[in-house]
Structure 1
Amino acid sequence: MIPIAKPQIGQEEIDAVVGVLQSGMIAQGPKVEEFEQAFAEYAGSGYAVAVNSGTAALHVALLAHGIGEGDEVITTPFSFIATANSTLYTGAKPVFADIEPDTFNICPAEIQDKISPKTKAIMPVHLYGHPADMKAIMEIAEDHKLVVIEDACQAHGAECLGKKVGSFGTGAFSFYPTKNMTTSEGGMLTTNDREIAEKAKMVRAHGSKVRYLHECLGFNLRMTDIAAAIGLAQLGKLTGFTAARQKNADLLSTGLKDVSGVSVPVIKEGCTHVFHQYTIRAKKRDELGAFLMENEIGTGVHYPIPIHKQPLYKELGYTDSMPVSEKAAAEVLSLPVHPGVSEADVQKIIASVKEFYARE
């Protein structure tokens, strides 16, 4: 079976965890601080704040910027639900703007149309590892004096115009096992604003800078040194992981670009795609997925139901149509691209997709 995702865990991670366990410091400690410093340097940001999930990174970023009751945050309906839910956690309202049909990322023109007097932030998602149009988004944010919180949970190391995602505004990264690097569970907030970093550190630790002195409402969203040790080992391998993903993606696109019924991923000029997912548009998507599964090739649909169509959001009164997102949800199919996929695996995937459409 060629799985759709497979964490790449080696002896380095095992040794790092054992070292932490032997040290006796297994909660948040020196390894977390070391990981924060290393990740900030990698991401090109002044500061990084480690938390226990990508969702927590989004939530903390919003709270650190003072987003709350009565505010609106413009974001995409075509993402994992945590993107929008993080706004709900603060008491603010997610406002959805439709996506671009080629990158699947939020459309700047749609953002512009959704700005209201209540808008306080824009939350673009760098979906599948392809950067959103940050030049246009940052210009809109500057014109309207809005905060930008980048959901970079799928985009570790992706670049837009020579700058890494997560360094334009306040970034949020995930280290879930299926991501481009993992800490088992974990997340990271990145920022160039010292005050935001300090507020984020308070929010993740019960609103406290000094032990037993609580200055604001906070949560227990801390990362453990065990997770940070894994993260440091993974960060050292991330460049190689990314290169393997990009190589596999290039082979897939070369092999599938002329297949009728398939549209391969695009890479916009000035962008570096890190291929958290290799996602095609596919005619007869569900039938193709079933055929590939029969041939022991895992696939995924990211995402089958746009957020505004989820039962929770229907209950909250969301009724807007998002036609581009809704069409994408019916057509997208992710194929294995992770570093554990061999060249022989890639050729099997290509041959199987071609075989499916040759039967048409």
Structure 2
Amino acid sequence: MKNNKFLPLAIPDLSGNEEKYLNSCLKSSWISSKGIFIDRFEKKFAEFTGTKYAISTSNGTTALHLVLSALGCGPGDEVIVPDLTFMATANAVTYTGAKPVLADVKRDSWSINIGEIRRKISGRTRGIIAVHLYGNPADMEEILQIAGEHNLWVIEDAAEAHGAGIKIAGRWKKVGSIGIAGIFSFYGNKIITCGEGGMVTTGNRDLAEKMKILRDHGQDPLKRYYHPVVGYNYRLTNMQAAIGLAQLERINHFLKAKEKIAAGYRQKLERVRGLKFQEQNPGKKSVCWLFSMTIEPPYKLTRDQLMAVFEKNAVECRPFFHPLHTMPPYHEKKAYKEAEFLAGHGINLPSFVTITDSQIERVTEIIKHYASN
């Protein structure tokens, strides 16, 4: 079982037009926040998600802060977010002066619990952030219904879910095209990457135009160096967009490879007692960002013990996110039972698009070695 060659969690595949497009930037000298690749990347990403507008940003966190700011979110407001998500989801709300209100998730889908949303709505609630955790879409139809009943907006945090879809009113829609806006991350371990980068998608023209102004220091697009509002420097560079465009050209290839990876893990591990996978709903099309599962009895090891075994065998894995309520900025004494369980039992396995069958076999053989009889 021992193999000392390091097997990483994620490796970007940069074997397409990335180098060609980067060299084009260098030769043209357009290397900063203007250039043809920014426009092309935004246009093609809007087409991919089925939205009218896509606004590129410096990363996924700034994308979320940008849309919240453009929506006028601020002090005195509350925004409902799932307790189990990456810290940036709540932080972006906090940046505006608003308060993130935490809601527990569901044990089977790992997504925000609809009943919890209803319980957390108050007179101060402005909106809901639906996180498509680890590539599995949240229950958007129900979330939109609740939002409509209370005149709330819905933002999709699709940082981990490029290409995922959900059936709404009998029609398939891609994540990022369902709420008032969606946000995506292009960090180095995401389904597509430009090193660092983000995108906001929306069908709302006024919101898109406002975000473009706020992204560029609040500058009037028709009056250079005149700033009618306080904005931010949240722009993507032409070089980053060049990489992003090259990645986007192959996203369907990446998604098919990821689907095969997930199927391979499931097929090899489905009979191991104590391992549970994220719920697969026929009304949703999940994508495999990182293949993820929970570990519980009768499996012989705890999640942390298995991670220690992986470390000894030079296999990189990682635990699920810590629940927001367990960390100092958002600490609450209240128990969030499901988020706590998933955070204590969940693990992400190596899932890069070029992983081989033998490498998946190496990971699964370690897991099966400690299976109960």
Fold shared by both chains (TM-score > 0.5): yes
Q: Unpaired runs of 5+ in structure 2? A: 1-5, 297-301
> What are the residue-to-residue correspondences of 1:74-85 with 2, within 5 Å?
74-85=80-91
Q: TM-score, normalised by structure 1?
A: 0.96
**What is the aligned counterpart of 2:190 among 179, 190, 193?**
179
Letter in 2 for 1:15: K
- Superposed CA deviations along residues 147-205 of structure 1, whole A, max 9, x for unmatched, are 11110000000001111001011000000000000011000000000001001101111
Q: What residue number does 1:225 align with?
A: 238
**What is the aligned counterpart of 1:164 among 166, 174, 182?**
174
Query: In 2, Cα distance between the equivalents of 1:137 and 1:11?
Result: 38
The yes-or-no answer on 1:136 pairing with 2:136 is no
The yes-or-no answer on 1:123 pairing with 2:152 is no
The yes-or-no answer on 1:276 pairing with 2:289 is yes
Q: CA deviation at 1:110?
A: 0.8
> What are the residue-to-residue correspondences of 1:49-88 with 2, within 5 Å?
49-88=55-94
Q: What residue number does 2:3 align with?
A: none
Distance 1:290 1:48, change over 3 A: same
Q: What residue number does 1:335 align with?
A: 349
Q: TM-score, normalised by structure 2?
A: 0.93
Query: In 1, Cα distance between the equivalents of 2:61 and 2:134?
Result: 16
Q: CA deviation at 1:11?
A: 5.1
Q: What residue number does 2:299 align with?
A: none
Q: What residue number does 1:291 align with?
A: 309
Secondary structure of the residue aligned to 1:48 is strand
Q: CA deviation at 1:16?
A: 0.9
Query: In 2, Cα distance between the equivalents of 1:107 and 1:277?
Result: 22
Query: In 1, Cα distance between the equivalents of 2:10 and 2:220?
Result: 38
Secondary structure of the residue aligned to 1:124 is strand
Secondary structure of the residue aligned to 1:227 is helix
Contact 2:310 2:316 in 1 (8 A): yes
Q: What residue number does 1:239 align with?
A: 252
Secondary structure of the residue aligned to 1:214 is coil
Contact 1:2 1:341 in 2 (8 A): no
The runs of 4+ residues in structure 1 deviating greater than 3 Å are none
- Superposed CA deviations along residues 89-132 of structure 1, whole A, max 9, x for unmatched, are 00000001100111111111110110001000100100000100
> What are the residue-to-residue correspondences of 1:92-111 with 2, within 5 Å?
92-111=98-117
Q: What residue number does 2:339 align with?
A: 325
Contact 2:51 2:201 in 1 (8 A): yes
- Superposed CA deviations along residues 297-345 of structure 1, whole A, max 9, x for unmatched, are 2211121x2111112223xxx3332111011111001111220211111
Secondary structure of the residue aligned to 1:296 is coil
Secondary structure of the residue aligned to 2:220 is strand
Contact 1:253 1:265 in 2 (8 A): no
Q: What residue number does 1:37 align with?
A: 43
The yes-or-no answer on 1:23 pairing with 2:5 is no
Contact 1:74 1:96 in 2 (8 A): yes
Secondary structure of the residue aligned to 1:101 is coil
Q: What residue number does 1:306 align with?
A: 323
Aligned pairs, number: 355
Q: Unpaired runs of 5+ in structure 1? A: none
Query: In 2, Cα distance between the equivalents of 1:77 and 1:215?
Result: 36
Secondary structure of the residue aligned to 2:68 is helix
Letter in 2 for 1:109: G
Query: In 1, Cα distance between the equivalents of 2:107 and 2:277?
Result: 12
Tell me how large the CA RMSD over aligned residues is.
1.2
Contact 2:76 2:124 in 1 (8 A): yes
Secondary structure of the residue aligned to 1:50 is strand
Contact 2:81 2:101 in 1 (8 A): yes
Contact 2:320 2:342 in 1 (8 A): no
Letter in 2 for 1:8: D
Letter in 2 for 1:136: E
- Superposed CA deviations along residues 36-64 of structure 1, whole A, max 9, x for unmatched, are 11100001111000000000000001011
